[in-house]
Amino acid sequence: MSANNSVRKKIKAVLWDFGGVLTTSPFEAFNRFEAENGFPKDIIRTINSTNPDTNAWAQLESAAILVDEFDSTFADEAKALGYEIRGRDVLALLSGDIRPNMVKALEIIKQSHQVACITNNVKTGTGPGMARNAKKAQSVADVMAMFDLVVESSKVGYRKPNPKIYQFTCESIGVTPDECLFLDDLGINLKPAKAMGMRTIKVVNAEDAISELENHLELTLT
């Protein structure tokens, strides 16, 4: 390999997941719901990770089924594991709270890089962030307006971690994967992006994610 080929390309675009990155994680809401209702911690995530390419969650995020069918199908999947949980109860937990420090970082990064959002979402609530009230919907809309492109699984028909959604995003904004930095709170979504050549950040908390962004981009974001 020549010296030129070993040099990584400059980052031209930063790609963002939405829930769990720019908002608090829905997993926190899942755990509160489980505790309040006497269910084992992470049982909702267990249901959603069983047959992950074909289960009710996967079908809803890729628009293969609608909310009414999801409600009953998810309930069947929960019942198979011994629990009574309706799909609609889970959907009500999806909309997290905006993280102001992450939004500030996005605002600064937008001044020098292309920015796009890739979100696995469902056709419930209001807008890409699935907000449950008008105030939250407006807050989400204000953030979404900052992006050059928003790619929603429920509209394009495929979802992370399908490489097609990453390739579609790159082609739409005119960059190659090795010119991108991608943030997501799920390692399963980062793995194929990294295999395509993207640099990745797993978001566990906002502070560490911002520090990693600063290191990758050589920017001050706080």
Question: Tokens 């928003």 appear where?
Answer: 150
Closest to 121 in 3D by CA, of 20, 210, 32, 202: 20
pLDDT at site 136: 77
Residues in the chain, overall count: 222
Strand partners, 202: 184
Question: Tokens 């974001």 appear where?
Answer: 221
Closest to 87 in 3D by CA, of 69, 104, 105: 69
Query: Residues 147, 183: contact at Cβ < 8 Å?
Result: no
| Contacts of 171 by beta carbon, 8 Å cutoff, 6+ apart | none
Distance CA 112, CA 162 (A): 28
Entry pTM = 0.83
* pLDDT (mean) for 195-221: 97
* pLDDT (mean) for 169-183: 98
Distance CA 144, CA 154 (A): 16
Query: Over the stretch 11-47, which tens digit does the pLDDT of each residue have?
Result: 999 999 999 999 998 898 999 999 999 999 999 999 9
What is the set of domains in the chain, with CATH numbers? 3-23+97-217 (3.40.50.1000), 27-91 (1.10.150)
